């Protein structure tokens, strides 16, 4: 955010203010140099000597400014990050009574930023006396030069005065150009940061000639999938087949790799080995956006936007009220939406925090229903809900799963008994597969998990 807002503003200030000034100063400087050549080119050569005296310290100072500038911007990033975190986690801060802790931390960060800012100002402040000294020296030399020339009769007093005025007129643009150079260094910091963002390459690159997606995919297959985030293998060679209209459930302990596995289907990551196919075609051959459009995802945390309920369900589609309402009805969300004062037009900003987890979840399900994706992924969609709202959400989910190819991750095994196949994952390995009743009969891992939950 700081790069998009802060750094861009710095660059904007540079672009709007400096360009016109630059043209003016450069033109003046060129004209003055020409006049000087006409008047006294030997003196001009002498002046050339002063140029490095002006330029070198300026370059030195601006390098330092630039280094500090990078640090200061980095510090600002951190401060903003902290601020955003604290504000959005306000409840945690309050619940743990950590206001003082957070203020101290914030003060520390902003003090660090202040020190960095002071350093920059100090360097800038130092550069001014240096320039003045150089200017004073120049004037003294000129006075000496003039005295000699006038005494020897090579120049009249009037000529010398004209000469002085031209030099003065030249000094001014040089001074402001060097100052501009220093300012430019400061903005370069911002510019570099903006460009680093603009130049960053997307990690997911689609194929040059994507294969068109099948309109109604019939078969989703994962073949010998191996995957690791770092060096530890999270998935150790998994196979999975889901046919159209079928539901495959993934169960198993936390950290077993269930979420990782389903994240491979919309290509949030690509497997290190093995492949995922839809109707026999590797998903890497499809346009990633087309692929994702055909996959609906409902997760544990439901992310809603600061729009109206209608816009949250339609999310970017131009859907009519009737379509949104139909989706909301199937998601068992219609009734509680209608109970709100403004119904579907209620803004989330007002109601967002008053909605219960189950209600938010049903809005998310309505969103997925409206998208009407042939492939559906449910990642612990009911885990954070109480039993009462879980029942409603479960019914909504059953509506959603009808006639779709679904992969369901469930924490509560009671919710996946109907699945066509249940796969038990442990530490990235498939330990059992079968139907609910088959697995219960086998009396192994699944049975143990099931028994543990029946007692609760
Ligand atoms: N983005 C990530 N970067 C690194 N490791 C991760 C990441 N996401 C998950 N993991 C690790 O991968 C393993 C499997 O996690 P996950 O797929 O979320 O399991 P599950 O959904 O079955 O609880 C865990 O050990 C977890 O720490
Ligand atoms: Mg998970």
Assess whether the C-beta atom of 259 lies below 6 angstroms from ligand 1.
Answer: yes
Residue 273 tokens read as 């080995």
In tens, the pLDDT along 279-290 reads: 999 999 999 999
In tens, the pLDDT along 170-215 reads: 888 887 887 787 778 778 888 888 999 999 998 888 899 999 999 8
* Ligand minimally distant from the alpha carbon of residue 233: 1
Assess whether the C-beta atom of 254 lies below 6 angstroms from ligand 1.
Answer: yes
- Decide if 213 contacts 281 (C-beta within 8 A): no
Structural domains present in the chain: 2-199 (1.20.1560.10), 219-455 (3.40.50.300)
In tens, the pLDDT along 58-76 reads: 788 888 888 888 888 888 8
Assess whether the C-beta atom of 253 lies below 6 angstroms from ligand 1.
Answer: no
pLDDT confidence bin for 391, thresholds 50/70/90: confident
Atom of ligand 1 nearest to the CA of 263: 17
Alpha carbon nearest to ligand 1 atom 1, residue: 229
Q: Which residue has the higher pLDDT, 62 or 269?
A: 269
Mean pLDDT computed over every residue of the chain: 88
Residue 234 Cα to ligand 2 midpoint, Å, equals 12
Highest mean pLDDT among 274-283, 355-364, 409-418: 274-283
Model-wide pTM > 0.85: no
Q: Give yes or no for residue 145 having a pLDDT over 60.
A: yes
């Amino acid at each position: 955010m700081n790069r998009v807002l802060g750094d861009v503003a710095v660059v904007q200030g540079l672009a709007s203010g400096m360009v016109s000034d630059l043209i003016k100063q450069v033109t003046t400087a060129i004209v003055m140099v020409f006049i000087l050549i006409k008047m006294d080119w030997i003196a001009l050569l002498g002046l050339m000597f002063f140029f490095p005296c002006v330029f070198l310290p300026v370059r030195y100072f601006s390098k330092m400014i630039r280094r500090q500038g990078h640090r200061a911007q980095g510090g600002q990033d951190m401060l903003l990050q902290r601020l955003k975190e604290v504000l959005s986690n306000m409840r945690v801060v309050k619940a743990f009574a950590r206001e003082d802790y957070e203020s101290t931390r914030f003060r520390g960060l902003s003090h660090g930023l202040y020190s960095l800012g002071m350093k920059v100002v100090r360097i800038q402040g130092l550069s001014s006396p240096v320039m003045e000294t150089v200017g004073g020296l120049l004037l003294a030399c000129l006075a000496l030069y003039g005295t000699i020339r006038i005494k020897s009769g090579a120049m009249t007093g009037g000529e010398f005065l004209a000469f002085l005025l031209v030099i003065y007129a030249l000094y001014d643009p040089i001074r402001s150009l060097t100052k501009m150079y220093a300012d430019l260094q400061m903005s370069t910091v911002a510019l570099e940061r903006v460009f680093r963002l603009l130049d960053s390459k997307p990690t997911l690159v689609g194929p040059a000639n994507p294969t068109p997606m099948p309109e109604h995919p019939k078969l989703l297959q994962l073949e010998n999938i191996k995957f690791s985030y770092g060096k530890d293998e999270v998935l150790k060679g998994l196979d999975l087949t889901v046919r159209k209209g079928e539901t495959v459930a993934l169960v198993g302990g936390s950290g077993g790799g269930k979420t990782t596995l389903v994240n491979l289907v919309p290509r949030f990551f690509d497997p290190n080995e093995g492949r995922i196919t839809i109707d026999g075609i590797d998903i890497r051959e499809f346009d990633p956006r087309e692929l994702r459009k055909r996959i609906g995802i409902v997760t544990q945390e439901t992310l809603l936007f600061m729009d109206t309920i209608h816009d949250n369900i339609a999310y970017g589609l131009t859907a009519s009220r009737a379509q949104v309402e139909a989706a909301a009805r199937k998601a068992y969300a219609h009734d509680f939406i209608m109970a709100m004062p403004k119904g579907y037009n209620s803004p989330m900003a007002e109601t967002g925090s008053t909605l219960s987890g189950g209600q938010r979840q049903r809005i998310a399900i309505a969103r997925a229903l409206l998208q009407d994706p042939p492939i559906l992924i449910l990642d612990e969609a009911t885990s954070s809900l109480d039993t009462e709202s879980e029942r409603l959400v479960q019914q909504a989910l059953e509506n959603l799963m009808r006639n779709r190819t679904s992969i369901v991750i469930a924490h509560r095994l009671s919710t996946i008994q109907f699945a066509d196949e249940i796969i038990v994952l442990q530490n990235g390995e498939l330990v059992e597969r079968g139907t609910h009743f088959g697995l219960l009969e086998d009396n192994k891992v699944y049975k143990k998990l099931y028994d543990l939950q029946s007692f609760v």
